[in-house]
Amino acid sequence: MRLNLQEKSVIVTGAASNIGRGIALAFAEEGAAVAIADIDADRAQTVADEALARGASKSMAIRADVSNWPDVQAMTARVEGEFGSVDILVNNAGWVVDRLFVEKPRAEWEKEVQINLWGMINCTRAVLDGMISRSYGAVVSIASDAGRIGEFREGVYGACKAGVIALSKSLARENGRHNIRFNVVCPGTTLPAPGEEISPTSLWATDEMKVWLQDDMRSRISKAYPLRRVGTPADIAPAVLFLASDVASFVTGQTLSVSGGYSMV
């Protein structure tokens, strides 16, 4: 299947590692122009260099905090200035600490809301005027099965991801007449590859989440999935590229779980 992404300009947020990196490099291999947006500027530049080596027509690294509206406006203006447009936005930036609701400090709730929900709102709003003016655009947001079925120890995170799903449906209804599509991909647990450098800003850098990266924990997690393995970025990226491409030009307002059968809703 030819996705014809060679002429497309793409922003991937949270693209310095794990799922975001995998998505950005997959777009690069299709010949797209890719903007690597992340709060970790050094790791973003590393991935931008990788993108060029993988075949991106253009690439750039942008330091951006998706929860900060001026940052997001500046990011969008820079991509539009250097690439000419933003054809595709992938809202991937996310953050969570796995902890019972009653044990979470308020600062963690607020950070989860700011990054997981406000980040998607900010980035989507920033690119939407340009997409409307060109009567073209695709927004693919990374949510989570936690937002579809609820999840133990991920209450506020799941609420944010449910919000991403609901907002994407509303925006699909509002903007279909402008030829702009909104879809959502819901991964299950997707761990960084063994040996992948983990940014100090990553959720996987917290003490609570590092334990998930141990081999025995990977084995335990895999038993919760019908396919009996933990997801990888390479599992998620093809679904995102399909939904972002014109091959899916008649698909909007949809939510696709790519989670090894963890949820079947």
Query: What is the set of active-site residues?
Result: 157
CB 155 within 8 A of CB 96: no
Q: Give the Cα separation of 255 and 259 in Å (integer).
A: 12
Residue ranges with strand state E in 188-224 = none
> Beta partners for 89?
11, 139
Sequential DSSP letters for 48-69: HHHHHHHT-SEEEEEE--TT-H
> Beta partners for 90?
12, 140
Residue 234, helix vs strand vs coil: helix
Half-sphere exposure of 149 (CA within 13 A, CB side): 13
> Beta partners for 138?
88, 181
